[in-house]
Structure 1
Amino acid sequence: MNAIRVPPGRSGRQWLRGRLGSAEHAAALLEQKLRALRTEQGRLAEAAAHTHDELLAQAERTKTWTLRAALTAGRRGMRLACTGAEADVTISWSTTAGVRHPTGVTCSTPSGAADVPTGTAVARAVQEQRRMLGAALQHAVAASALRRLTAETDTTQRRVRVLRRHWVPLLRKTLAHVELELEEREQAENLRHRVASHTGQNRETE
């Protein structure tokens, strides 16, 4: 452990007590934050796993209907079903224990396929592809939020570990050392006073 530069005398003791109190308070606050982060991290982990499973299932449905559409309508039919319009995506955000993270997403897709008859298989394929986009966005939000919370959880845990395992013990050890030195100094001063007083009394009696 590295030594701490402490002001001399009794002011050093007060200084150390203040630093120790601040360190313990900071550790308690960080531990409280860590509990909140871990709770939210667990919830987000479940959400990310669920949206991942939904994404995989939707990917299979999309693949099936896209293949059917390609077989029934051909490349030309698939191309005619595309309007070229882009989806409009809006992400909502929130803050948990000081960490900003996405919480939801809305996606507005083009109103429909081009006004060209392409068959029911193509229409269903377009529908499944839109659902695929929605599932991918939902998973992206959950996974991004989980990454952000996990990173902050790891950082907070390291800070707590530094405080509890290094800084607080070092302050306590240094404070104990300073208090011992002050006590020994006070005892030595008291002894000198008694010796001086006893010497003065002996001189008066001579």
Structure 2
Amino acid sequence: MRRSLHVASHGADLLDRKLHLLHREHDALSRTQRDCAAGWRACVTDAETWLLRAVVIGGEHALIAAAAGAGGPAVVTVEWTTSLGVRRPASVAVQVPPRAPDTAAPGNTALLRAEAAYREVVTSAASYAAASSAVRIVEAEMSRTQRRVRVLRRHWIPRLQRELDRVDRALEQAEHEDAVRLRRAHAWHGHGGPAGRG
């Protein structure tokens, strides 16, 4: 019983330590997420500015013609890591295919700049998504760990302690009763009990 109580207390202490480390990791990941969000918003603003300039200079038909030469969908590769028993995204690699070789280049410099800016938007969006996912995954693990600690500290450990106290009281009572019986037996033998009458 004492061993079970010790194991439960030690387990709660280890989970508390893990929770502390998860909080530190969460703080670092949250900073990364905020930085990625700011970078993504800045890229979007830059891309929208260049797109607006391109449309003003070349008109909507120039934009449609430039879009026809887009190289296809981007490929995002997520690198995963595991720390503190939590598997989460660590980084991303983005490959945005180049413009198709058989298509004409955009009609004006603003369109070229807009295209490059939107490539950056895709890369920064992938980084922001990975950072956000990492934060959510660590938050979920923090929540699970907090629940485990709470169950151990509020329910399991007190229950084991009550059971240990009950067993200790029962042992103490049994020892007391044995001591009383021994004293009575000694007193009976010493004061003319069957052994003393012989």
Normalising to structure 1: TM-score of the pair? Answer: 0.86
Cα displacement (A) at 1:117: 4.6
Residue in structure 2 matching 1:57, options 17, 39, 42: 42
Deviating above 4 A after TM superposition, structure 1's stretches of 4 or more consecutive aligned residues are: none
Does 1:133 find its partner at 2:122?
yes
Does 1:32 find its partner at 2:17?
yes
Comparing 144-153 with 22-31, greater Cα deviation is found at 22-31
Root-mean-square deviation (CA), in Å?
Answer: 1.5
Percent sequence identity over matched residues? Answer: 36
Tell me: CA distance 1:116–1:53, structure 2 relative to 1, closer, same or farther (3 Å): closer
Q: Distance in 2 between matches of 1:42 and 1:117?
A: 43
For 1:86, the aligned partner's letter is P
Comparing 74-83 with 64-73, greater Cα deviation is found at 74-83
Does 1:107 find its partner at 2:94?
yes
For 1:192, the aligned partner's letter is R
Aligned length in residues: 191
Partner of 1:122: 111
For 2:114, the aligned partner's letter is A
1:7-18 matches, cutoff 5 A: 16-18=1-3
Residue in structure 2 matching 1:165, options 154, 158, 167: 154
Tell me if structure 2 keeps the 8 A contact 1:37–1:96: no
Partner of 2:31: 46
Tell me if structure 1 keeps the 8 A contact 2:106–2:112: no
Structure 1 unpaired stretches of 5+: 1-15
Partner of 1:151: 140
Secondary structure at the counterpart of residue 155 of structure 1? helix
Q: Distance in 2 between matches of 1:36 and 1:205?
A: 73
Cα displacement (A) at 1:142: 0.5
Tell me if structure 2 keeps the 8 A contact 1:45–1:146: yes
Structure 2 unpaired stretches of 5+: none
Normalising to structure 2: TM-score of the pair? Answer: 0.90
Residue in structure 2 matching 1:184, options 169, 173, 178: 173
Does 1:195 find its partner at 2:180?
no
Cα displacement (A) at 1:127: 0.7
For 1:90, the aligned partner's letter is T
